Amino acid sequence: MALPNIAAYPLPVASDIPAPRAPWQPEPARLALLIHDMQRYFCAPYGEGDAPLGQVIGNIARLAKAARAVGIPVFYTAQKGDQFRPDRGLQADLWGPGMRAIPEHEEIVAALTPQPGDRVLVKHRYSAFQRSDLAELMRARGRDQLAITGIYAHIGCLATAAEAFQRDIQPFAVFDAQADFDRTRQDMAMGWIAACCGVPLGTDALLRRMEGER
């Protein structure tokens, strides 16, 4: 039930991504950035080397810096360790007890440390919207678009994109700022989002939109 060891794999590039059904484009005045579950516990299964985790962390850091510079809200999700078993619910049946309440598990990786003004939401289920006030915080800031980065692409990132769509929030899955158990699962997640609920796009394309380029 523990997380698997994750071997290196190449991140997708734009030519690997199917065309989305949705016509949406990110707009800085409507957009929020989500950094999903980038805690040391969830990053630990990746082996030494740059691909894919090092590249993903670098791309998320670039997006977070650009977002803060232009006033785009930055949200994080982070689970708590030593969860009460009934509160953990069905996740315990699939993944076991999860992380412990120690810095080696709970901390966000150092390169992505939250900055003043960022909001860190306690994560309870796969979707970042479940039992959190993410939707309300976005609404209060006039935001109805969400760029999703982090891990894992086919689990929490995908569930968050699907729920965003069902809340009439336009989701953008940043395909080279997400990592997964393997490339097959990541490709599946991007394909499903493109077909059913959102727009996959790359870091460079999103940065251009954040900076006001068309």
Residue 122 CB neighbour total at 10 angstroms: 11
> Which residues face 74 on adjacent strands?
33
3-state secondary structure the chain: CCCCCECCCCCCCHHHCCCCCCCCCCCCCCEEEEEECCEHHHHCCECCCCCCHHHHHHHHHHHHHHHHHHCCCEEEEECCCCCCHHHHCCHHHHHCCCCCCCHHHHCECHHHCCCCCCEEEECCCCCCCCCCCHHHHHHHCCCCEEEEEEECHHHHHHHHHHHHHHCCCEEEEEEEEEECCCHHHHHHHHHHHHHHCCEEECHHHHHHHHCCCC
Q: Which of 16, 37, 118, 180 is catalytic?
A: 37
Query: Measuring CA to CA, how many Å separate 150 from each of 11, 20, 75, 89?
Result: 13, 20, 11, 23
Per the CB < 8 A criterion, the answer to whether 88 and 98 are in contact is yes
Per the annotation, the verdict on 87 as an active-site residue is no
* Residues annotated as catalytic (active site), given as ranges: 37
